[in-house]
Amino acid sequence: MPQYRKITKSALACGCQLTRDTGSLLADHDFDISDLRRWRHPKLPGFAGDLLQGVATRNV
């Protein structure tokens, strides 16, 4: 694991993986992500400011 991932995963993000594309991961695992909103929080630094908000439902 690269050093920057170790740092962001443990100290800065409380276990969150800041480099993971969560929306794509959900879509790849058969979730409908049409209700998800992607946005950048204006008060967070760039590496932590990309946010995903909404509901992902499992396609059956």
The DSSP-derived string for 5-43 is HHHIIIIISTT--TT--HHHHHHHTTEE-TT-EEEE-TT
Domain assignment present for 55:
yes
Q: Is 50 in contact with 40 (CB distance < 8 Å)?
A: yes
How large is the C-alpha radius of gyration of the chain? Answer: 13
Domain assignment present for 31:
yes
Token output for 39 = 């946005």
- Which pLDDT band holds residue 1 (cuts at 50, 70, 90)? low
- Which pLDDT band holds residue 27 (cuts at 50, 70, 90)? very high
- Between 20 and 28, the more confident residue is 28
Domain assignment present for 27:
yes
Query: What residue numbers bound the domain in which 34 lies?
Result: 20-60
**Would you state the pLDDT for residue 9?**
52
Token output for 9 = 């995963």
Domain assignment present for 8:
no
- Which pLDDT band holds residue 4 (cuts at 50, 70, 90)? low
Which residues have C-beta within 8 Å of that of residue 3, sequence separation ≥ 6?
none
Domain count, the chain: 1
- Which pLDDT band holds residue 18 (cuts at 50, 70, 90)? confident
